[in-house]
């Protein structure tokens, strides 16, 4: 709805990474993709499905995650408008993907992508860079999950979200506290308590649970390490 005109699949779209540097991508890569609306909590693909499609978020937000047998969940990543997910080199999806809120996504069939790749081998390099970028982001997340305290994890998350999507001064969180907890390797209670703590310390403000304003960036960045 909102940004549909600017992120039209037929227009040249810079592909922005979380890590910062935008990489231009062939203007019509997504021109043969179909647009699809996904309701909140709707599954996009599940662990074990054949990886026959690649996706790009137009609006909304998507989470990828894995479940342990006893129900413990690990959210691997959040994907916001403009970001690509489901790009596996081969085989089946290793993780599941769901829409966090009602979302518009572009769906590109894998065989179409393969076709394009045979005609334009240079494209392969772009895909590789996207995957490599994702890998770097994943590995950076290791230090957070393996070595950081709760307050450091939450601060890192807010700083990262602040760099990705800010609407007039406030971060709009599409995901629930549970999603955040499962992303940061914490419980929902710890996430909630920690955000309250950050608010008490005047580092952030919370006009509502899903809207976060960063009041003092410096100490948050310090916690980010």
221 binds a copy of itself (CB under 8 A): no
Q: Kindly tell me which of 205 and 219 has the beta carbon lying closer to a copy of itself.
A: 219
**Could you tell me the smallest distance in angstroms from the CB atom of residue 19 to a copy of itself?**
9
196 binds, among DNA, a copy of itself, none (CB under 5 to 8 A by kind): DNA
Q: Kindly tell me which of 120 and 189 has the beta carbon lying closer to DNA.
A: 189
**Could you tell me the smallest distance in angstroms from the CB atom of residue 195 to DNA?**
5
Residue reference for tokens 């994907």? 79
**Could you tell me the smallest distance in angstroms from the CB atom of residue 152 to DNA?**
7
**Could you tell me the smallest distance in angstroms from the CB atom of residue 201 to DNA?**
13
187 binds DNA (CB under 7 A): yes
Contacts of 37 (CB under 8 A, 6+ apart): 102, 103, 104, 105
| Residues between 140 and 199 with contacts to a copy of itself, criterion CB under 8 A | 140-143, 145-148, 182, 184-185
69 binds a copy of itself (CB under 8 A): yes
* Alpha-carbon distance values, 120 to 23, 34, 114, 127, 141 (Å): 17, 21, 10, 12, 33
Residue reference for tokens 């989470």? 63
DSSP string of 179-218? HHHHHHTS-HHHHHHHHHHHHHTTSEEEEETTEEEES-HH
**In the numeric block, which tokens belong to residue 203?**
């580092």
215 binds DNA (CB under 7 A): no
Within 10 A of 166 (CB to CB), how many other CB atoms are there? 14
Q: Name the CA dihedral angle for 184, 187, 188, 194, rounded to a multiple of 10 degrees.
A: -70
Estimate the share of the chain in helix, then strand, then coil, as percent rounded to the nearest 5. Answer: 35, 30, 35
**In the numeric block, which tokens belong to residue 201?**
């310390």
- 16 three-class SS: coil
Build a one-symbol-per-residue string for 24-63: x at contacts with a copy of itself by CB under 8 A, - elsewhere: ----------------------------------------
**Could you tell me the smallest distance in angstroms from the CB atom of residue 95 to a copy of itself?**
6
Per DSSP, 141 falls in state: H
Site stretch for DNA (CB under 7 A), options 22-30, 61-69, 85-93, 175-183: 175-183
62 binds DNA (CB under 7 A): no
Q: Kindly tell me which of 56 and 141 has the beta carbon lying closer to DNA.
A: 141
Residues in contact with DNA by the rule CB under 7 A: 149-151, 176-178, 185-193, 195-196, 206, 208-210
């Amino acid at each position: 709805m909102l940004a549909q005109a600017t992120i039209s699949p037929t227009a040249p779209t810079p592909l922005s990474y979380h890590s910062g540097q935008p990489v231009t991508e062939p203007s019509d890569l997504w021109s043969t993709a179909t647009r699809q609306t996904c309701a909140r909590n709707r599954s996009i693909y599940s662990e074990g499905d054949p990886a026959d499609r690649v996706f790009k978020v137009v609006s909304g937000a998507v989470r990828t995650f894995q479940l342990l047998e006893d129900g413990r969940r690990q959210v691997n990543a959040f994907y916001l408008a403009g970001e690509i997910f489901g790009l596996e080199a081969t085989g089946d999806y290793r993780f599941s993907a769901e829409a966090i809120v009602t979302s518009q996504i572009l769906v590109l069939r894998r065989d179409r992508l393969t076709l394009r790749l045979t005609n334009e081998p240079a494209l392969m390099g772009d895909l590789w860079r996207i995957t490599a970028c994702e890998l770097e982001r994943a590995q950076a997340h290791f230090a957070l999950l393996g070595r950081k305290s709760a307050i450091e994890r939450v601060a890192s998350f807010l700083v990262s979200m602040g760099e990705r999507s800010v609407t007039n001064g406030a971060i709009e969180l599409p995901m629930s506290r549970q999603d955040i907890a499962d992303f940061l390797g914490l419980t929902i209670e710890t996430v909630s308590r920690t955000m309250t703590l950050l608010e008490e310390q005047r580092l952030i403000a919370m006009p509502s649970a899903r809207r976060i304003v960063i009041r003092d960036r410096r100490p948050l960045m310090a916690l980010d390490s």
